[in-house]
Amino acid sequence: MNAPLPAPSRIAATAPAGVVRRFFRGGWSFERILLLAVLLINLAAGYQGWARLAEGRSRAEERAAQETRNLAQVLEQSLGSTARSIDVTLRAVVDELEAAAGGAHALRTEGGRDMLARYKSWLPEIEGLRVFDAEGRPRWARAGAPPGQGLIGAEAFRTLAGLVHDQLMVSPPQIEADSGVRVLSFSRRYRLPDGRFGGVVTAAVPLHYLEELLAVPRLGSKGLSMLRYEDRSLIAVQPPIPGEAGQVGNKAISAELTGILDSGLQAASYLAPHMKDGVERINSVRRVAGLPFLLVLGMASEEYLAEWRDDLRNTLALLTVFLLLTAGSAWLVIRYHRRLQAHAARLGETLAELRDRDKVLRVTERVGGLGVFSIDSRSGSTRFSEQFLQVFGLPPGRPFPVEVWQQGIHPDDREETLARAAEVSSPAGRAFDHEYRYLWPDGQVRWIHGLAEAERDVEGQSVRVHGAVRDVTDRHRAEISLKAALDEYERLVARIPVGVFKIHWTQDGRPCFDYVSPLFCEQCGLDEAAVLADATTVYLSLHEDDRASFDAMCHRVVRTLETFEWEGRIRAGGRLLWISVQARPTRMEDGSVMWEGIQSDVTGRKLAELALRESEEHARLLLRHSPVGILKYDNDLKVSYCNQQFARIMGAPLDYMLRLDCSKLQDVRVLSPLREAIAGNIGRYEGPYRTTYNGHDLNIAMHCAPLRDEAGAIVGGIAILEDITERMLKDQELARYRDSLEELVDERTADLVAARAEAERLARVKSEFLANMSHEIRTPLNGVLGLAHIGYRDSRGRDKARDTFARILSSGQLLLGIINDILDFSKIESGKLRVESIPVDLGKVIGGALELMEERASAKGLILRFRRSASLPESCLSDPLRIGQILINLLSNAIKFTDHGEVSLAAGLEGERLLFQVTDSGIGMSEGELAKVFAPFEQADNSTTRKFGGTGLGLTITRRIVELMGGAMVVHSRPGEGSCFEVRLPCVPAALLPPPEAPPPRPGAMPGDRRLAGLSLLVAEDNEVNRMVLEELLGEEGATVTLACNGQEAVDAVRGQGMAAFDAVLMDVQMPVMDGFDATRAIHELAPRLPVIGQTAHALDEERERCFAAGMVDHLAKPIDPERLVEVVRRHAAAPLRFEGAGGAG
């Protein structure tokens, strides 16, 4: 396809012989040799660059050919699927017609039309169904469709009438007489009760449906996809080809394509250098199996060779740089060589020594670069390399007689190794090739591989023994690791999310499973022993309607040994699943075939495909019935799509608009926004306009935006049009009232200022009320939960009491959740909820949420699943607290409304957004309930509230948090089928987080000890019950507790006992005499390094900030969680500091 570059040898041969003779006239000096070497190296580099470029171009062309072949195969499958659907429908119509003809009552006209309308609903892609009698007269058509006498030609009709066996016939494209639409006709004959030809049933497929199929493949901006009939006439082409070559029915094809089709090949690829549009392409042609169609797909060379051309430029640049570097290096070497010649005399002895060493190196290279040795058989003297000593763990220059080697051999290997070594010098002359263990001087056991062979004199006696040794310890370790890896593989197979199997197909055609993974058996709903005993049990679990396709695939791949790929339904334990099976064959020595493959559960994908098809249909209906006009055009301002509303506003027929060239519009005022979009900008026009079709004057608003392909290149624009004539008239009317409204606006503004001041006052009152309410509820709740925790801990062995305390804890946590929901909702309403942007370990956040919800799901007998997509990053910049709150709220909500089944969490990356999906099998919601599911203080209905409880704030808060984080949240649900909540959040990349380090253990605290043993803590708390709870919790963990009833007593305790008396202070915030803030400041003046930990019943951020501003090192919100209490005290307690100080003093 491209002229080859000249070979380097030929280039060299073109040099004049006289130049070469003159160059070497002075002899083969070092400098001349060096320059010749530089020349040859550059010629070799040039040849390698040429070869690499030639190979790169060949690979690019092969990739393009393979990609077009793959796309052609995909299109063939799509066409075949559509044809099979049409054929199934035609068969059903024929069966019903024949059954009706043989029954007591023949179908009447309305009944026939109803039947056709029913079957038409199966095939949204066809234009209509029609029935013709034996004379070719139209009998019925789908209700509302024209009879369509011209849908099937007379010749095709006679062919169908004369067929002995029923078969599907596809006619060439025709223009339907009634609608003027080009269609393809799929036809089948039907018989009368006596077996005679009764007529024909025809389904008409409009060509625009096929054009939509051809537009799907990704062939680049200049790619081409074409469908031709078996007589080589054109059916459809994308993108459209201007002129006669793009007309339906055109039979002009290239000579290359003619040669392929004449050869009878099923599929082939070829280079088409001279296309009608002047673009060179690699085309792939494929005959559609079972249909009279030819598929031709092409990819432009300027697109698939773009990367190769960049490589060409880079290679030329590198060769140029290489030439300059080698030439410069040669010049420097020549200078250095001339200096060395002055010292040549003094290097004679050194060169002789180097020659001796070179001999040793050549021996080393010959045996593999190992440690080499030589032993004199008569004297026993040895010579060896430094690497030889390294193999045996000895430093260079160390003597190493044979006796030392013999003593160092591992006792278990010594006898056999010495026996083999003795055989080397024996008359039999057996070579030594053995692996043995050797004990290094430092005690290490190393595996050594030794090779040795004797040098013999003319009498056959051994003169010297030459050999080499190599340390193969790493290889032995690798073999051990390999065995461990194989064991791990077996465990991995049991954990991967696909079923794995091996099935042996014997020569007599009997299948039997050699291996099945646990998940394979679970997907089939069968026991492993039953599957291994009888392979037909798996076959019997297949859905009856899918067994035929499974059998056909099995028969084909057993014969051809191609890859087995099949999708179908299977009954597993009362459930109907979609599975995908893939397997590859291996021909065994006995002629049988071993199939190894995987089986995946693709039920979700199949359901998603159905939903996608419905979504695409909805999108088409929206465009068709949009209240605004929508126009799509290319870079030449030629219309490629127009909806009915756009044509209606312009007062022109739809077919006129679809042929419109916008550059020829009479009113040029709209050309500017249309061109702005092509330039990559947003174009707008609002004002008067006169239509080109009928000269009608109106006022319009037009917005134009660019359309881009996958590479980001602009391929056209889209225009949104509104008729604002009526609005303009209203605006003119409103302008007359504007002046009189200004006075009213001034008055109203004054009222709004006063209202705003009142609203701000009410907001402050609301915040103060919520803070006080939180404090008044959390303070006694801290005592209740603390005492309940103590009672639960101390009631081991008393089941009834333990259950009572567990219920108190559960009820208290529920009440705390309600309080937190109200406070979060208040923060959101007042705009005070803060969202951070810090590195987030997504695995840790998700794992924490699942761990928290697992016990609650298990208590209800639910299965809690997690599916992590491979696209989910390890970390990102976001708010870990809010992400965890979102997941916990959604999982808690799903568990609450699910009585049986499962709740699943899926996490992945969709574009540049994190995607979380929480799905349950619970009660579900209707459309009306979905409309108010995010309304605050509401649930689906009152009965739901009575049955499941809750404030109705959880989902409202979750959605507000998602929106504050810049994300979106949607819900899908049906009554009785469960719900699916989807959350999408921005994903800002972050550097990988280091693995979390375990906190260092506190000196003196051993695993299993009381965690606060040895600590002295000062507790300041004005509530007597809370003091008792803290004293009990801290004392149980081994701490010494000193109590203070207010801040002043805490300050006096520190002043009186000294700063070294306490390791930490737990300080309540609201106390009489002196509050916690003043007490903290006073304690820091006395003991600056003594940590003070705040505890407050206020859960607002303002309270936390006041704690830190006062000098507190951490904050505990009431009710205090015992585990959180111990964790915070251990993190901040000053005991390690006192311990280090004591050690230093001693």
Identify the burial level of 822 via C-beta atoms within 10 angstroms of its C-beta, where 0-12 means exposed, 13-18 middle and 19 or more buried.
middle
Lowest mean pLDDT among 19-28, 319-328, 891-900: 19-28
CATH of the domain at 902: 3.30.565.10
Same domain? 1065 vs 950: no
Same domain? 677 vs 595: no
pLDDT of 1121 higher than 80: yes
What tokens does 826 get?
């208040």
Q: How far apart are CA 132 and CA 201, in angstroms?
A: 6
What tokens does 69 get?
């072949």
Same domain? 369 vs 422: yes
Is the residue at 13 inside a domain?
Answer: no
For the chain, give the number of residues.
1146
CATH of the domain at 174: 3.30.450.20
CA 624 to chain centre: 34
pLDDT of 606 higher than 60: yes
Same domain? 459 vs 501: no
| Contact status, residue 853 vs residue 813, Cβ threshold 8 Å | no
Is the residue at 1125 inside a domain?
Answer: yes
3-state SS assignment for residue 511: strand
Nearest C-alpha neighbor of 187 from the set 81, 288, 94, 295: 94
Same domain? 1025 vs 1084: yes
Same domain? 888 vs 1031: no
- Give the per-residue pLDDT at 605: 83
Q: Tell me the pLDDT band of 180, cut-offs 50, 70 and 90.
A: confident
pLDDT of 934 higher than 90: no
- Give the per-residue pLDDT at 121: 81
Q: How far apart are CA 606 and CA 580, in angstroms?
A: 10
- The amino acid sitting at 195 is G
DSSP string, 230-263: TTS-EEEEESPPPSGGGSTT-----HHHHHHHHH
Is the residue at 692 inside a domain?
Answer: yes
pLDDT of 936 higher than 70: no
pLDDT digits (tens, 9 = 90+) for 952-969: 566 878 888 898 889 999
3-state SS assignment for residue 191: strand
Nearest C-alpha neighbor of 119 from the set 181, 202, 225: 202
Is the residue at 1111 inside a domain?
Answer: yes
Same domain? 633 vs 604: no
Q: Tell me the pLDDT band of 1029, cut-offs 50, 70 and 90.
A: confident
Same domain? 231 vs 125: yes
Same domain? 1021 vs 958: no
Q: How far apart are CA 662 and CA 639, in angstroms?
A: 7
**β-bridge pairing 1064-1068 and 1092-1096:** parallel
Average of per-residue pLDDT across 16-45? 70
The set of residues, in sequence order, having a beta carbon less than 8 Å from that of 537 and lying 6+ positions away, is 526, 530, 531
Its pTM stands at 0.32
**β-bridge pairing 182-191 and 902-910:** unpaired
Distances (CA, A) of 1089 to 823, 1046, 1134: 34, 21, 8
The mean of the pLDDT values for the chain is 80
- Give the per-residue pLDDT at 173: 86
- The residue range of the domain holding 231 is 61-304
Q: How far apart are CA 173 and CA 207, in angstroms?
A: 8
Among 723, 743, 772, residue at a domain's last position:
723
- Give the per-residue pLDDT at 1015: 93
Q: What totals of helices (H) and strands (E) does the chain contain, helices first? A: 35, 39
Average of per-residue pLDDT across 1050-1067? 90
Report for 489-493, 498-502, 788-792: range of highest mean pLDDT: 498-502
Task: Find the helix packing angle between 1024-1036 and 1122-1132, rounded to 10°.
Answer: 70
Is the residue at 783 inside a domain?
Answer: no
pLDDT of 354 higher than 80: no
- Give the per-residue pLDDT at 716: 94
Average of per-residue pLDDT across 351-378? 67
Average of per-residue pLDDT across 605-630? 77
Q: How far apart are CA 1071 and CA 1024, in angstroms?
A: 12
Average of per-residue pLDDT across 574-594? 87
Q: Tell me the pLDDT band of 800, cut-offs 50, 70 and 90.
A: low
Q: Which helix (H) or strand (E) holds 466?
A: strand 462-471
Rounded percentage of the chain residues whose pLDDT exceeds 70? 79
978-986 β-sheet, strand order: 863-868, 902-910, 913-920, 978-986, 968-974
Same domain? 376 vs 403: yes
- Give the per-residue pLDDT at 254: 83
DSSP string, 839-889: EEEHHHHHHHHHHHHHHHHHHTT-EEEEEE-TT--SEEEE-HHHHHHHHHH
- Give the per-residue pLDDT at 345: 59
pLDDT of 1078 higher than 90: yes
Report for 241-245, 269-273, 721-725: range of highest mean pLDDT: 721-725
CATH of the domain at 1107: 3.40.50.2300
- Give the per-residue pLDDT at 32: 82
Average of per-residue pLDDT across 1090-1104? 80
Q: How many CB atoms lie within 10 A of CB 188?
A: 21
Same domain? 262 vs 120: yes
3-state SS assignment for residue 45: helix
Among 304, 332, 367, residue at a domain's last position:
304
E-state strands within 137-180 = 138-141, 169-170, 174-175
DSSP single-letter state for residue 717: E
pLDDT of 781 higher than 80: no
pLDDT digits (tens, 9 = 90+) for 94-150: 888 888 876 545 566 677 788 888 888 888 878 888 888 888 788 776 544 444 444
pLDDT digits (tens, 9 = 90+) for 806-857: 667 655 665 566 566 566 556 666 565 677 888 999 999 898 888 878 888 8
Q: How many CA atoms lie within 13 Å of 500's alpha carbon, on the beta-carbon side?
A: 11
Identify the burial level of 850 via C-beta atoms within 10 angstroms of its C-beta, where 0-12 means exposed, 13-18 middle and 19 or more buried.
middle
- Give the per-residue pLDDT at 608: 81
Question: What's the longest Cα–Cα distance across the chain?
Answer: 133
The set of residues, in sequence order, having a beta carbon less than 8 Å from that of 1139 and lying 6+ positions away, is 1003, 1004
Lowest mean pLDDT among 489-498, 900-909, 1085-1094: 489-498
If one compares 949 and 973, the residue with the highest pLDDT of the two is 973
pLDDT digits (tens, 9 = 90+) for 662-692: 998 888 899 999 999 999 999 999 999 998 8
The set of residues, in sequence order, having a beta carbon less than 8 Å from that of 156 and lying 6+ positions away, is 169, 171, 185, 187
Nearest C-alpha neighbor of 1059 from the set 1138, 1139, 1146: 1138
What is the SS3 string spanning 769-824?
HHHHHHHHHHHHHHHHHHHHHHHHHHCCCCHHHHHHHHHHHHHHHHHHHHHHHHHH
pLDDT of 944 higher than 50: no
Q: List b or e across 650-668, with b for residues whose CB sees 16 or more CB atoms inside 10 angstroms.
A: bebeeeebeebebeebeee
Average of per-residue pLDDT across 487-508? 79
- Give the per-residue pLDDT at 1018: 93
Instruction: Give me the number of domains the chain comprises.
Output: 6
If one compares 386 and 26, the residue with the highest pLDDT of the two is 386
E-state strands within 128-256 = 128-133, 138-141, 169-170, 174-175, 182-191, 197-206, 224-229, 234-238
Among 304, 319, 338, residue at a domain's last position:
304
Q: How far apart are CA 1052 and CA 1048, in angstroms?
A: 6
Lowest mean pLDDT among 260-269, 722-731, 821-830: 821-830
- Give the per-residue pLDDT at 5: 32
pLDDT digits (tens, 9 = 90+) for 248-264: 888 888 888 888 888 88
Bridge partner list, 986: 913
Rounded percentage of the chain residues whose pLDDT exceeds 90? 16
| Contact status, residue 1051 vs residue 1031, Cβ threshold 8 Å | no
Is the residue at 624 inside a domain?
Answer: no
Q: How far apart are CA 1098 and CA 704, in angstroms?
A: 54
User: Alpha-carbon Rg of the chain, whole angstroms?
Assistant: 43
- Give the per-residue pLDDT at 772: 61
Is the residue at 1005 inside a domain?
Answer: no
Same domain? 412 vs 557: no
DSSP single-letter state for residue 399: -
Is the residue at 490 inside a domain?
Answer: no
Report for 5-9, 475-479, 792-796, 1126-1130: range of highest mean pLDDT: 1126-1130
Q: How far apart are the first and last CA of the chain?
A: 89
pLDDT of 778 higher than 70: no
- Give the per-residue pLDDT at 683: 92
